[in-house]
Copies of this chain bind each other. A is one copy, B any other.
């Protein structure tokens, strides 16, 4: 296939996925489209859904109703029943493999899920103007995973068409946004024989034409689901008989953000979703929240997590409520290997459309690609996390985030050439 035809097809795939963003463990349509695309390329092995995952290690799995609704939506969009059966319970994701004789085992990991953000309808927002804005109310690809999935397919195609010798895998990982899928894919066994692992992310505040050969500064992260249980009462007649779950939650939120900063480095805390009570005139019996803590190191993350648990427990006691705190997702920090960074840097420097290659940069966020990177590294392999700059008008995780599609080609080029180079050079 011509380079241009290939690039057009990749862009079309990205737009199609953009139009149908699916949140964590609900990537039914996405999985179907990926399967279709990689089969069209032609693969030597294909692991779909439960075969791509250690299913017991999945975290942050939503409730059955949410999964069923998403499956139904995918069914309406034409996903076939047999595949939906395979993915039952939200076991989404794909591992596609090329077996090309002797040589190293190389892998590329991309993530594929969307976010619970309502996409902008502004005319300035290209997906809205060009007609591929999200059709799923309240969900959006606001972090570029649509582009990642498309790049994954593009790289697979390019390697398939090359004289690459060895084994090449593309890991299409679900549920990154809830840091729920990295561990399940890491423990599936699919990376246990990997010698070289690449992961990729677009944007990260780098413009089109920039590439970062090795991202570091992954914040360790943990997600809690928290519930407060008190007792309802008539707010007018019996206010004293209530035990107010919303008051407990409010005290917790105020004090979570006030956990002391730490001398050793950056920490983060966010009570990103809260919900409590049922009506204005009832003392609220039940409240819940989704909390995230992060740290520049795992120790710093633990520092915040310990404080957060104490704050939540005390806030509940303060208002005579009970609290539960369940970890529903986490990821460690990780470091890109210098030898592999060197190789990507060289490859990127040689690319006509790359104006500037940075050797290193800090993510400042979290990623469960770190589970896969650490798994590979602990077995003696090398890993790096590559950023492919893209002009993005709005920030990541905002309603006006978008990807400059020129980036797709650069990403496919730099990564496929790095895969080929690693097979040749073996750093």
Contacts and interface: CB of A to CB of B under 8 A. Distances in A.
A268 B280 CA distance: 12
Interface string A204-232: 10000000000000010101100000001
Contact of A283 (B272, B294, B317): B272
A188 interface: no
Contacts of A239: 260-263, 268, 270
Given A292-B280, A318-B310, A397 B274 contact: no
A288 to B, nearest CB: 10
Contact of A232 (B257, B280, B398): B398
Contacts of A251: 250-251, 254-255, 318
A89 interface: no
Given A291-B280, A318-B314, A318-B318, A260 B274 contact: no
Contacts of A105: none
A167 interface: no
Interface residues of A, number: 83
Contact of A277 (B271, B294, B319): B271
Interface string A237-255: 1111110101101110111
A273 interface: yes
A366 interface: yes
A116 interface: yes
A236 interface: yes
A291 B281 CA distance: 8
A320 interface: yes
Q: What is the count of identical protomers in the complex? A: 4
Given A272-B282, A274-B274, A303 B263 contact: no
A166 interface: no
B303 A240 contact: yes
A395 B281 CA distance: 14
A275 interface: yes
A232 B399 contact: yes
A397 B233 contact: yes
A294 B238 CA distance: 13
A156 interface: no
A266 interface: yes
Most chain B CB inside 10 Å of its own CB: which residue of A280, A313, A398: A280
Given A241-B395, A275-B275, A235 B320 contact: no
Nearest to A328: B280
A365 interface: yes
Contacts of A121: none
Given A117-B232, A242-B260, A292-B280, A237 B273 contact: no
A364 interface: yes
Given A116-B279, A313-B317, 14 more contacts: A116-B282, A234-B395, A236-B365, A238-B364, A240-B261, A241-B263, A247-B257, A247-B258, A251-B254, A255-B318, A272-B277, A272-B284, A310-B318, A314-B317
25 contacts: A116-B278, A117-B282, A232-B398, A233-B398, A234-B365, A234-B395, A235-B294, A236-B294, A237-B365, A239-B260, A239-B270, A246-B271, A247-B258, A250-B271, A251-B255, A256-B258, A270-B282, A272-B278, A272-B284, A273-B278, A273-B280, A273-B284, A274-B274, A274-B284, A282-B397
Nearest first, the 9 A-B pairs at minimum CB distance are A257-B258, A314-B318, A250-B253, A236-B365, A235-B270, A280-B290, A280-B292, A237-B365, A116-B278
